[in-house]
Amino acid sequence: MSGHDSKYFSTTKKGEIPELKEELNSQYKDKKKDAVKKVIAAMTVGKDVSSLFADVVNCMQTENLELKKLVYLYLINYAKSQPDLAILAVNTFVKDSQDPNPLIRALAVRTMGCIRVDKITEYLCDPLQRCLKDDDPYVRKTAAICVAKLYDINAELVEDRGFLETLRDLISDNNPMVVANAVAALAEIQENNTGPVFEITSHTLSKLLTALNECTEWGQVFILDALSRYKAADAREAENIVERVTPRLQHANCAVVLSAVKMILLQMELITSPDVVRNLCKKMAPPLVTLLSAEPEIQYVALRNINLIVQKRPTILAHEIKVFFCKYNDPIYVKMEKLEIMIKLASDRNIDQVLLEFKEYATEVDVDFVRKAVRAIGRCAIKLERAAERCISVLLELIKIKVNYVVQEAIIVIKDIFRRYPNTYESIIATLCESLDTLDEPEAKASMIWIIGEYAERIDNADELLESFLESFPEEPALVQLQLLTATVKLFLKKPTEGPQQMIQVVLNNATVETDNPDLRDRAYIYWRLLSTDPEAAKDVVLAEKPVISDDSNQLDPSLLDELLANIATLSSVYHKPPEAFVSRAKLATPKPDDDEEPDAAEAGYSESSPSRVVNGAPAPSGSSPVSHTSTSQAAPVPPTATPATAAPVPDLLGDLIGLDNAIVPADTAPTTAPSLPPLPVLLPKATGQGLQISGQLLQRDGQIFYALLFENNSQTVLDGFMIQFNKNTFGLAAAGALQVPQLAPGASCSTLLPMVLFQNLSPGPPSSLLQVAVKNNQQPVWYFNDKILLQVLFTEDGGLDRPEFLEAWKTLPDANEISKDLQNSVIHNVDATTKHLLAHNIFTVAKRNNANKDIIYLSAKLPRGITFLVELTSVIGVPGVKCAVKTSNPEMASLFFETMESLLK
């Protein structure tokens, strides 16, 4: 749609759908085209125009390329919710894939790949096969990407139809963009597979290096990333590869430059010639420096990557430290990164320049930046022994400025310098002591107290200085209290005179009797015992020689650094974390068994929303692994209290999860010991499930939430390949591990505990207790059923309050947060039995009283993320009807709480 089409987004009147329907079936092409634009505009702003599916599909039969693109866009959006109607478009897709116009051929195959509907996937194979061998390179490059999309939907189909072999052949294509797209597709497929899908040989290597010079910038990124995974046979080959890649360092696109740097760095590991390595380091410096002249966001990404590079190869930018000097208009995040890199590049040769810069930064107006600059001076002193004295001189000059936060930060770093160079720079302690009155930050106070305690024998009035801190001992933070305790003990051991002796008595008394901090109390008791039994042993412990601290500028572990360098130009190198630390979903990459028993999610439509091989990244907690049990006899009937839920179709359950952590959890075929489960309500009756009956219920064990499930096979078919998926829900409940259901023979049953996690897949809107579930196996369609989330399963074990806390919380919450309801069907026969029953579900009793023949119970409960319920139950013993008043930090949850209380008080 062009810039002149904004009119289609204007507010429309009543009766829009019938009017659009009429226009879509108009005999005039312009009117039909306008109607489709209106439909796309409505779809874009979130209106449901799926009822026009058949009418829009009829517009596909057109020669107008713009109209065809719009119809294809509509199809991609609604094919998931209308899979049966989407089949109507297949013939046009197949016809368009043979159109004389290469743009239409490519558009058809691209759209078919984007429509993630299994029924259409079957028809995609033949057009895709043709397009992969099309005469036009634009069609071939589009088809190459389509193979990766098809693999995401149905990996087995891609392998059986030989698409992977065709993709590998495309690497030898004479068009560089086709080569780049083939590489991109193979690389993505390789990520989902442990087997060798994409292996670069010496022949392939030559093809890729040739294509590198001619393809677009993003094609170059794909090829460079693929080459970075290639390990050269020897130093000579590594040098040849690097020589071919080095021109990419001059590219205008930052992504190409960083990918080239990554590739060169990895190949340099194999190069043995020092001269070659030195020359490469020289060549990499200018492009990295050039990145710092880009806009701040790109600068930041470049700086995060450079931070890693200089830890591995500091010589690359050793002479370029000036480019990292901060400019006055740099954003704070850029300045902070530049400081880090300057510390890493600081050396005896350039330290004077660096210190002048840091001193200048320490007089800036941004407090955080000033603190970081002062700390940077201290880190340079710790890193460079020869420069330590110059660093201390700068710190003393800054202390004389008398700016409070500068002085305090300087004292913190000087404490670290003393620890790095003991008995070397103690002459400056007198200057530090002049600033005692200005200290108000815990870390600065603790640092100053440490210095006084450590050098108590050299400070004449050490006892007076410590005494000034002791006046406010009870109000000080734990950090300061711990340092005061240790410093006073040091003073007493070094100067066992009357003054320190009285001080130690006061401190030990405060630290053992007046404090609630267990760390402080335990340390005080240890010191007390040592001093009272063996003062010499106390000296050995408290005054022992401490290990010298070391330079922390290169703090990353070498193995982690290598992993991050292999991920340069990705988010991993920006976060400075390996991908698995922040990617919340992990793709399954298990080799397929020989007997082809691996469940394929694509067969049942699971692939419509997320890759068929995606599992939740959250691990199952230790000690509560999922367990299963298979029995050859028919399962015991469900008690009459269990109400079967109607297995009504839920069209959106597997429709569009938008990549959230609610992916399919495949079955593991290893049976283990049976869990002891309570009687479970039937969720999918056997009459609805073609003989498969599923019973289930959420429960909590040892603070962990599980979904207890019982599968009963009443059909005449062996069932296997079980998978489960949960729709978005109020509490974001999702599976935290694999569903452990082995193969079920006819007449067999299996019970299992599936570990669950919270807040993985939250649904918007008002709170609801509805939990929508989908289960599939290899022999049957997807079964949908509904279950209930009762809050007692989610209540945490730390929800208990004592009376003062309860009263304070009740007063704190506004009166508008108090909601009452009469639970007509609830009855309390015995108060003690009821409170015991509620306690078993983490609803804690605060107080009980009797007033005018009515029993009143005050209770508290807590949900994860700090949602607290303060409850008042009023009832007459044995009489139906309990009044429940609840005050909560989240009033929207009150209705769910009443529902839970009704179920517990039946």
Whether residues 771 and 824 share a domain: the answer is: no
Q: Which backbone phi and psi does 846 adopt, to 5 degrees?
A: -100, -45
Mean pLDDT of 894-901: 87
Whether residues 151 and 219 share a domain: the answer is: yes
**Whether the predicted pLDDT of 780 surpasses 50:** yes
**Whether the predicted pLDDT of 599 surpasses 60:** no
**Whether the predicted pLDDT of 339 surpasses 90:** yes
Whether residues 81 and 205 share a domain: the answer is: yes
Please indicate, yes or no, if residue 794 is contained in any of the structural domains: no
What local confidence, expressed as pLDDT, does residue 590 receive?
38
What local confidence, expressed as pLDDT, does residue 609 receive?
35
How far apart are alpha carbons 477 and 479 in whole angstroms? 5
What local confidence, expressed as pLDDT, does residue 611 receive?
33
List beta partners, residue 775: 724, 783
Q: Specify whether the CB–CB gap between 542 and 527 falls below 8 A.
A: yes
Q: Which backbone phi and psi does 840 adopt, to 5 degrees?
A: -60, -20
Please indicate, yes or no, if residue 324 is contained in any of the structural domains: no
Whether residues 688 and 666 share a domain: the answer is: no
**In 10 A of CB 294, how many CB atoms?**
13
CATH of the domain at 690: 2.60.40.1150
- The alpha carbon of residue 147 and the mean position of all alpha carbons in its chain are separated, in whole angstroms, by 28
What local confidence, expressed as pLDDT, does residue 844 receive?
92
Whether residues 691 and 645 share a domain: the answer is: no
Q: How many domains does the chain have?
A: 4
| Range with the poorest average pLDDT among 19-23, 229-233, 666-670, 686-690 | 666-670
Please indicate, yes or no, if residue 375 is contained in any of the structural domains: no
pLDDT band for 485, please (50, 70, 90 cuts). Answer: very high
What local confidence, expressed as pLDDT, does residue 582 receive?
82
Please indicate, yes or no, if residue 657 is contained in any of the structural domains: yes
**CA-based radius of gyration for the chain:** 35
pLDDT top residue among 622 and 867: 867
What local confidence, expressed as pLDDT, does residue 338 receive?
93
**In 10 A of CB 822, how many CB atoms?**
12
Q: Specify whether the CB–CB gap between 71 and 58 falls below 8 A.
A: no
Whether residues 449 and 534 share a domain: the answer is: yes
Whether residues 502 and 527 share a domain: the answer is: yes
**Whether the predicted pLDDT of 348 surpasses 60:** yes
pLDDT top residue among 306 and 202: 306
**Whether the predicted pLDDT of 510 surpasses 70:** yes
Mean pLDDT of 307-334: 90
Two structure tokens written together for 4: 């002149």
pLDDT top residue among 8 and 35: 35
Domain boundary residue among 789, 822, 839? 789
Helix (H) or strand (E) segment spanning residue 93: helix 90-96
What local confidence, expressed as pLDDT, does residue 884 receive?
92
What one-character DSSP code corresponds to residue 312? H
Give 597's contacts (C-beta < 8 A, 6+ positions apart).
669, 720, 721
Q: What is the mean pLDDT of the chain?
A: 81
pLDDT band for 641, please (50, 70, 90 cuts). Answer: very low
Q: Which of 439, 513, 509, 506 is nearest to 479 (CA)?
A: 439
Mean pLDDT of 869-878: 90
Please indicate, yes or no, if residue 894 is contained in any of the structural domains: yes
Amino acid 516 reads D
- What whole-number percentage of the chain has pLDDT above 70? 87
pLDDT top residue among 333 and 557: 333
Please indicate, yes or no, if residue 535 is contained in any of the structural domains: yes
What local confidence, expressed as pLDDT, does residue 98 receive?
86
Give the highest mean pLDDT range of 160-164, 224-228, 444-448, 577-581.
Answer: 444-448
What local confidence, expressed as pLDDT, does residue 544 receive?
86
Domain boundary residue among 643, 674, 705? 674
Mean pLDDT of 799-810: 88
Mean pLDDT of 591-612: 36
**Whether the predicted pLDDT of 724 surpasses 50:** yes
CATH of the domain at 891: 3.30.310.10
**In 10 A of CB 15, how many CB atoms?**
8
What local confidence, expressed as pLDDT, does residue 450 receive?
92
Whether residues 6 and 155 share a domain: the answer is: yes
**Whether the predicted pLDDT of 337 surpasses 90:** yes
Q: Which of 475, 477, 449 is nearest to 463 (CA)?
A: 449
User: What digits encode the pLDDT tens for the residues 207-262?
Assistant: 888 888 888 888 889 889 888 888 888 888 888 888 988 898 888 889 999 999 99
User: For residues 461, 462, 464 and 466, what is the CA-based torsion angle, rounded to 10 degrees?
Assistant: 170
What local confidence, expressed as pLDDT, does residue 2 receive?
56
The domain in which residue 870 lies consists of 803-904
pLDDT band for 617, please (50, 70, 90 cuts). Answer: very low
What local confidence, expressed as pLDDT, does residue 677 receive?
65
Mean pLDDT of 788-809: 87
DSSP 558-607: HHHHHHHHTTTTSHHHHHTS-GGGT--EEE--PPPPTT--S--GGGGTGG
**Whether the predicted pLDDT of 300 surpasses 90:** yes
Domain boundary residue among 247, 270, 295? 247
Residue the block writes with tokens 């001080």: 503
Whether residues 660 and 687 share a domain: the answer is: no
What's the first-to-final CA gap in the chain, in angstroms? 60
How far apart are alpha carbons 470 and 487 in whole angstroms? 11
**Whether the predicted pLDDT of 363 surpasses 80:** yes
β 770-776/614-616 pair status: unpaired
pLDDT band for 736, please (50, 70, 90 cuts). Answer: confident
User: For residues 579, 581, 582 and 583, what is the CA-based torsion angle, rounded to 10 degrees?
Assistant: 60
Q: Which of 585, 608, 586, 589 is nearest to 598 (CA)?
A: 589
**Whether the predicted pLDDT of 1 surpasses 50:** yes
List beta partners, residue 251: none
Q: Specify whether the CB–CB gap between 411 and 433 falls below 8 A.
A: no
Q: Specify whether the CB–CB gap between 118 and 154 falls below 8 A.
A: yes
Whether residues 487 and 614 share a domain: the answer is: yes
CATH of the domain at 132: 1.25.10.10
Mean pLDDT of 415-423: 88
Give 519's contacts (C-beta < 8 A, 6+ positions apart).
478, 482
What local confidence, expressed as pLDDT, does residue 151 receive?
86
Whether residues 812 and 884 share a domain: the answer is: yes
Please indicate, yes or no, if residue 851 is contained in any of the structural domains: yes
- The alpha carbon of residue 856 and the mean position of all alpha carbons in its chain are separated, in whole angstroms, by 45
List beta partners, residue 851: 854
Please indicate, yes or no, if residue 198 is contained in any of the structural domains: yes
How far apart are alpha carbons 647 and 781 in whole angstroms? 13
User: What digits encode the pLDDT tens for the residues 76-108?
Assistant: 887 777 777 777 777 777 888 888 888 888 888
pLDDT band for 3, please (50, 70, 90 cuts). Answer: low
How far apart are alpha carbons 103 and 99 in whole angstroms? 9
Residue the block writes with tokens 């087997």: 195
Q: Which of 348, 352, 349, 323 is nearest to 338 (CA)?
A: 323
- What whole-number percentage of the chain has pLDDT above 90? 19
**Whether the predicted pLDDT of 795 surpasses 50:** yes
Buried b / exposed e along 656-683 (16+ C-beta atoms within 10 A): ebeebbbbbbbbbbebeeeeebeebbbb
Whether residues 631 and 695 share a domain: the answer is: no
How far apart are alpha carbons 789 and 633 in whole angstroms? 31
How far apart are alpha carbons 176 and 151 in whole angstroms? 23
pLDDT band for 393, please (50, 70, 90 cuts). Answer: very high
Q: Specify whether the CB–CB gap between 208 and 259 falls below 8 A.
A: no
| Range with the poorest average pLDDT among 125-139, 198-212, 342-356, 645-659 | 645-659
β 749-757/628-631 pair status: antiparallel
Q: Which of 884, 637, 684, 661 is nearest to 782 (CA)?
A: 684
In angstroms, the Cα distances linking 350 to 317, 357, 374, 586, 634 are 12, 11, 18, 45, 81
Mean pLDDT of 718-743: 88
Helix (H) or strand (E) segment spanning residue 753: strand 749-757
